[in-house]
Structure 1
Amino acid sequence: MSYHLLKTILIPILWLTFQGSRCVQISELRVPETVRNGSEAVILDCVYTLKPEEAKALSTAGLVLKWFFNNGPEPVYQWIPGQKPQELGLLKGRLDLHYEASNQAGTMYRALRIIRPTTDLSGEYKCTVSTFHTEDFMVKKMIVYAPEKKLELLHEKTEGSVTVLCKAFHVYPQPRLAIYKISNEDTKVALPEVNFQIVSWHGAFDIIATADLKETYLDSDSQLECEISLPDTNYSNRQRMLYYPGSQESLSSKSVPNLTCRTTTYIILLLAGFVTT
């Protein structure tokens, strides 16, 4: 028998033998990609299967389930069937230890139910399941995002020039800001040479985007728009301002956190003052 024929026969046999010998196997790690800061709760579920004989004799199988955070050496959660689940390290005092992911004795407390997750829980979660004979693991990332507490768009004018500023406060993760000019034809053009200042404090970010323009760059009755977005999430928010040339006053637009992922605010300057719609 040739070497190549022998290899063709043996490899599938060895693979099947290996697969058949696995006592525990994780089939799915249900970790949401994003969750909003301060949500009521979030569930991270580690779905695995056991051999029938292992499931019937948990006391002799040596089953241990552990969750790790950001590749840390110590688990943040541990459960051994027949014992109470343990919350450890970063998750101590932050889990619903009564939550049951299934009604089976070998998988009942496999999941994490985190109460009111905060931004410091953003990172990679690793679930490991082991018996006396085998071990399996799976890793997924979750971002706990915090929308900005305040978003401002304003401009300041001097003779022949305009400074446009967009400011976002206390947001996580580090956001992206972009400032646009929108003409009467609804053409959207990013402002040139925008400078950014970013400050990190208390686990959040403040960011200011500034663009210095010649007044001739802005058309009559054009709009200015500032857009904030959070990387790796579907969150974004916008502020718009209707610009009138000739006024030396500063025009500003302000917002508070929104419940939707995308909002738009229009501020119009009138001779009598400011009107918001």
Structure 2
Amino acid sequence: MSIIEKAIQRRAEQLNTPTAADKENQSIVVEDERQPSSVFSEDENKKADIINEERNVTELDLQRLESQGFVSLSKQRRLINEEYRVIKRKLINNAFGVLSSTLQNPNLILVSSSRPGEGKTFSSINLALSIALEQDKTVLLVDADVLRPKVAKTLGVEYPIGLTDYLLSNEVSVSDIILNTNVPRLKLITAGSPHHLSTELLASDRMLKLAEEFANRYPDRLVIFDAPPLLGVNETSVLAAMCGQAVLVVEENKTRLAEIEQSVSLLPKDIAVGFLINKAHRNQGKGYGYGYYYGAE
């Protein structure tokens, strides 16, 4: 039994549910007593979409990203596209399929890892690019790793304000920080300005209201949070509680079982958890089951 299979079995025992081999797509029914509170003013609700559409488009160098091994938006058939197509399908089904009613905010997806350097940002960007290929879905990629932000740098994006600026100031609106890109169905929020309370902001009421707004404002949108690692940043588990799904990126032959178990224990019991194996050096096969994903080679 592999390290990931052991982690999945431990997770199943924690939830007192069958393992993936026994029952696929197992979900836990959750009663959400919290009512969404809009972070948009009445005027913003009328103007936000128009402002976003009229704002200059942020150009992503798609050719450079493709050369660096990211999902391609061209018609060229590539292995990484096929792999992330399978991974995103599970996430989309959880967010909009029959099981979505059993999850709280199923269209909000936390992507994290146990420790830094395991490939969560690479995975977050690839998931966003892959979802953007869908014809009837849009995706918002949020760099929530406010201590070590990498999304904007990886994508080659420079923008003066982002998530922390919004969380710190009532004068910054949501429409101020959402960037349109030259990928029609992909939008972006950068991490924002560094601040000594950056991680604490992720656990703030303003962040909770923002997450609720993301979950309810656009019914066809998935939101991917590239979050800080779970071990060492307590606020990541608070952010996870706002999401309906979590993808835990695991580096093959490096991430320890104890670290995976500790990370999973920090996630809410009612969240749908998936594992994505990154930096794999061999074909892992196609054994997809409950919360079990195989990533790029």
TM-score by length of 2: 0.20
Structure 1 or 2, whichever has the larger Rg, is 1
- Give the strand-richer structure, 1 or 2: 1
- Give the helix-richer structure, 1 or 2: 2
Query: Which structure has more RCO (C-alpha within 8 Å, separation ≥ 6)?
Result: 2
